[in-house]
Chain A
Amino acid sequence: MKFHEMTARETAEGIKKGVFSASEAVKASLDRMKRMEPALNAVVTSLEENALERAMETDSKRARGDDLGPLGGVPVIVKDNMCTRNIRTTCGSRMLAQWKPPYSATVVELLEASGAILVGKSNMDEFAMGSSTEHSAFGPTSNPWDTDRVPGGSSGGSAAAVAAGYVPLALGSDTGGSIRQPAAFCGVHGLKPTYGLVSRRGLVAFASSLDQIGPLARSVDDLALAMDVIAAPDSRDSTCFRDPRPLYSGAFPDVAGKRVGLVREFGGDGIDAEIDGAVSEAAASLEKRGAEVVEISLPNAGVAGLPCYYILAPAEASSNLARYDGVRYGLKKDAPDLISQFLATRKAGFGPEVKRRILTGTFVLSSGYYDAYYLLAQNVRRVLRMEFEKAFEKADVLLMPAAPSPAFRKGELVDDPIRMYMTDLFTLPVNLAELPGMAMNTGYAKNGLPLGVQLVAPRFGEKVLFGFASALEEASGRPSVAGGGELS
């Protein structure tokens, strides 16, 4: 039984039908994790004991004939910035290296209610700030397609875990591209839902108006299945919409007669030729299915998106991370007085990238600079939202790269923050506009590294995305599972 090649839906159905047990599926997942972790370091905390216990419970339920839930017995992983009650939630940081939250995130509660079995908390860039999972206090994660390369970030651990076949489904979080870029680098599919569709309660905040939780998987159908579980109203999150969600699984809308927008400013120079090629191939593939390809212009998104993001996100982050002071939870450095404790604790607890962003954020919010930077960025954000809205008058979906290049080497960009920020060029405008964006794997480069594209739809257009994505998946086939080391 090749559990590591199954989708989440196949796993759930197999258990439900009695083809295999939950215990077998979970054990296979844990075994694979143990074998590959020394090379990949995708997981911060493995939940072996809990998981095997829950698997046994699932098997007992099945024996009794009880309903197992849509993800009954399926092993899953969540990023380590999602609170899990009494289970260490580190956010990839020394600050929370030993912190056990006294409550679970809403999405974790929903996953558990759906029967899914949590087998691990995945590695990430500290407090979700990064694009390579090299900024983790627990060491870098490696790309399962080439362990000298990064898996992308900040949800690098989740992307690697799915790519390497530890689990068929993982949750990540995306603020400027942190699901989509690692999904592209690791050759899996990753969805950042419309802002407000999935509850953020229990997601340790980085930038509140940009953060969203989303699924990573190796089939479009699994993304839809995951959304049916996690996209639900939550009255405890004021930014989470109250309206009922549609059913995401099932028949996806056809692409025939629909318009695919290629963004003029997101092609050509500065983009790896093979990635450019992947986008063109995808466009051609959709055309063959009856879609119309049109050219779209987003004159401001490419140029203004990055600076706009790098003002707003650090500003919110500087405020969200001010609570870490050693008084209520987390790391505390002994000191003779309060201010010294704050300074010593935050110095020891935060890594250099986090410090940089907190300082940048503090700077743009401080008096004298607020109007020139923060207020300006908020207004530019409005322009970007309008720009996308106008684009969707002419196209039903936008097709573009997920990242300008395939996975880069470890150490290549870690000391060049601004070049690192640029890898999110195509993803962050989507967060600023609060739209749903999906990265999907469509093939492999000459050197074996995964290649993919990004699809962007209007707000609440997840089903449109799935329609286009499944058309592409039919053409290119589902992503393969990585061997965890050598490129073939």
Chain B
Amino acid sequence: MAVSEEEVRRIALLARLEVDQAEVEGLQKHFNDILAHFHDLRNVDLGELQPGEGERKTVCPLREDSIENWDGRESALEEAPSREGDFFITPRIIGGEPDEVS
């Protein structure tokens, strides 16, 4: 299945990556090459796999609910490319807020 130019641009925007025309064409080719290789996956026989077989064997350990203070807060803020006092700064946000948590 061939990937269209439009599709490449949609994916690029989703990933917040700018792509110029030459890059779009190069990526189309790359995607199509990769997809051809992915076809080999369909030949793998999944039929013998039982539920739960071959899954990662780890169980998540849980952490005790206690407060740990970190002393690197100032160093972290110092690394901010744009900082105002205690805040990280972003430029103007256009287009409203996405459907996020609050």
Contact = CB atoms under 8 A, between A and B. Distances in A.
| Whether chain A touches chain B in the assembled complex (some CB pair under 8 Å) | yes
Interface of A: 85-86, 99-100, 102-103, 196, 209, 235, 238-239, 241-242, 300, 303-304, 306-308, 310-311, 318, 322, 325-332, 335-344, 346-347, 350, 355-356, 358-360, 362-363, 366, 373, 376-377, 379-386, 389, 417-418, 434
Contact of B44 (A304, A326, A339): A304
Contacts of B8: 359
B41 A382 contact: no
A241 B59 CA distance: 9
Contacts of B58: 196, 239, 241
Interface string B40-52: 1111111001000
Interface in B77-91: 79-82, 88-91
A386 B49 contact: yes
Given A339-B94, A341-B91, A347-B18, A359 B11 contact: yes
B15 interface: yes
Closest 3 CB pairs of A and B: A382-B54, A332-B81, A102-B75
Interface residues of B, number: 50
A337 to B, nearest CB: 5
28 contacts: A85-B72, A86-B75, A100-B75, A100-B79, A102-B76, A209-B56, A235-B63, A238-B61, A303-B40, A304-B44, A325-B16, A327-B80, A327-B81, A328-B80, A330-B79, A337-B92, A338-B91, A355-B19, A358-B17, A363-B31, A376-B41, A376-B42, A377-B41, A381-B54, A382-B54, A382-B55, A383-B49, A417-B30
Interface of B: 3, 8, 11-12, 14-19, 23, 27, 30-31, 33-34, 37-46, 49, 53-56, 58, 60-61, 63, 72, 75-76, 79-82, 88-95
A343 B16 contact: yes
Given A379-B49, A386-B53, A358 B15 contact: yes
A306 B19 CA distance: 26
A337 B93 contact: yes
A102 B91 contact: no
A331 B82 CA distance: 10
A327 B88 contact: yes
Nearest to A332: B81
Contact of A336 (B3, B41, B60, B92): B92
B33 A386 contact: no
A335 B93 CA distance: 11
Contacts of A196: 58
Contact of A330 (B18, B30, B37, B81): B81
Nearest to B57: A459
A232 B21 CA distance: 49
A155 to B, nearest CB: 24
B44 A380 contact: yes
Contacts of A341: 90-91
Given A338-B91, A341-B90, A434-B56, A331 B81 contact: yes
